[in-house]
Amino acid sequence: MSNNIKVITMPKWGLTMKEGLVGDWLIEEGETVNSGMEVVDVETDKITSAVEVSDSGTLRRAVAVPGETLPVGALLGVITEEEVTDEEINTFIQEFQDNFVPEEDGEEDSGPKPETLKIGELSINYLCQGDAAKTAFLLHGFGGDLNNWLFNHQALISNRTVIAIDLPGHGSSSKDVGDGSLVFMAETLRQFMNELDLQEADWVGHSMGGAIALQMAKSHPEMVRSLTLIGSAGLGKEINGDYLRGFTQSQSRRELKPFVQQLFKDSSLVTRQLIDDLLKFKRIDGVQVCLQTITDFFIDGDKQVEILHNVLESKDIPALVIWGKDDRILPVDHAGGLPNQVEVKILEDGGHMVQMENASEVNRIINKFWEI
């Protein structure tokens, strides 16, 4: 009978996540759930997001209590078909709880781990998941790292091998951005692909990462199977220059927090730990110079220097543009006036970090786009 009982467990969002704080349940016991539905909020030390179910049925038990902190893998809820009895559910829950062993601190994680690839003098940190024949790359934005995709990476590997990269100057990659140009970034990615013997890939870029993906399509179109641009730079002149300058120059939690809050429609999603992690990154030797170099190249006041709108006119490269309607860094107007063949999706309830705030919808849109 246990085959008819499906579990909702505490997810592992990112390589360092050990536990999560249970928030509000988004549905009631007895309600029907469908695969892909968000059912309960969970807060990590970095951000709050909703747990999405992979099974359909009826939520028969909301086991986890709001306000409870539970380890990764712990039981949150139970989904069954109607014919499963309460007694069978109670027995299943008891057996699960009796047999569940949380991951211990320092215990070897059997999941995927970041790797490092040498590109000349640079060391590029990346995380590869999936084993499909086709490959896709995830490119984060200014000041970010591969963890910006922690709600997307696993969800996109059903028909792609997906590689999330720490761009030069970011994350655990070398703190060297050359002249800070898009050409430098694209050339590094070209060499990265050559080292892995990859001929072409689907490119997913957020913010600055979108502009880098556009540069890849301009400089090396033979390496670009498709483009997915999320709140992308490079599609219009206007940009929140105060954000880039403020993020670059901030040296304390009090200074940095107001700028990071601009990334999200719901600024309450920005946790103290997220701010502390960003400050820790910014204090690494060489980071400040890298961020300033990119800023100096990238903007002139409140205008972008590099506009790559014309790249999307190529009918040889399918393109998808996703934007949060309430983006406070790059205006949603940049998603307008694009060539007719470009698919455009505006998400009403998202800010600049729409791939985190609206992860389920973004994942669904990308996976469908990749079916073409």
Chain segment 19-37, per-residue pLDDT in tens: 999 999 999 999 999 988 8
pLDDT classification of 1: cutoffs 50, 70, 90 = very low
Residue 265: which H helix or E strand, with range?
none
On the question of pLDDT at 108 being above 60, the answer is no
Lowest mean pLDDT among 26-35, 98-107, 227-236, 312-321: 98-107
Is the domain covering 115-369 a CATH 3.90.45.10 domain? no
- Other CB atoms within 10 A of residue 288 CB: 15
What is the radius of gyration, based on Cα positions, of the chain? 21
Name the token pair of 63: 């086991």
- Supply the pLDDT for residue 107: 52
Answer yes or no: same fold for 2-99 and 115-369.
Answer: no
Q: What percent of the chain has a predicted confidence (pLDDT) above 90?
A: 80
The full set of domain ranges for the chain reads 2-99, 115-369
Joined tokens for residue 296: 């100096």
Contacts of 95 (CB under 8 A, 6+ apart): none
Whole-prediction pTM value?
A: 0.84
DSSP code of residue 72:
T
Angstrom distance (rounded) from CA 334 to CA 308 = 12
CA distances from 37 to 8, 51, 115, 192 (A): 12, 8, 33, 36
The two tokens of residue 204 are: 């997913």
User: Which of 371, 269, 358 shows the shortest CA–CA distance to 36?
Assistant: 358
Provide CB contacts within 8 A for 121, sequence distance 6+. 174, 176
Of the pLDDT bands very low, low, confident and very high (cuts 50, 70, 90), residue 270 is confident
Residue 158 pLDDT exceeds 60: yes
**Residue 3 pLDDT more than 90?**
no
Q: Is the pLDDT of residue 299 over 60?
A: yes
Output the six-digit token pair for 315: 């009918």
- Is the model's pLDDT at 334 over the cut of 90? yes
- Once rounded to an integer, what is the mean pLDDT over residues 193-215? 98
- For 268, the 3-state DSSP assignment is helix
* Domain 2-99 classification at class level: mainly beta
pLDDT of residue 12: 83
Mind giving me the DSSP string for 133-175? Answer: SSEEEEE--TT--GGGGTTTTGGG-SSSEEEEE--TTSTTS-S
Among residues of the chain, what percentage have pLDDT more than 70? 97
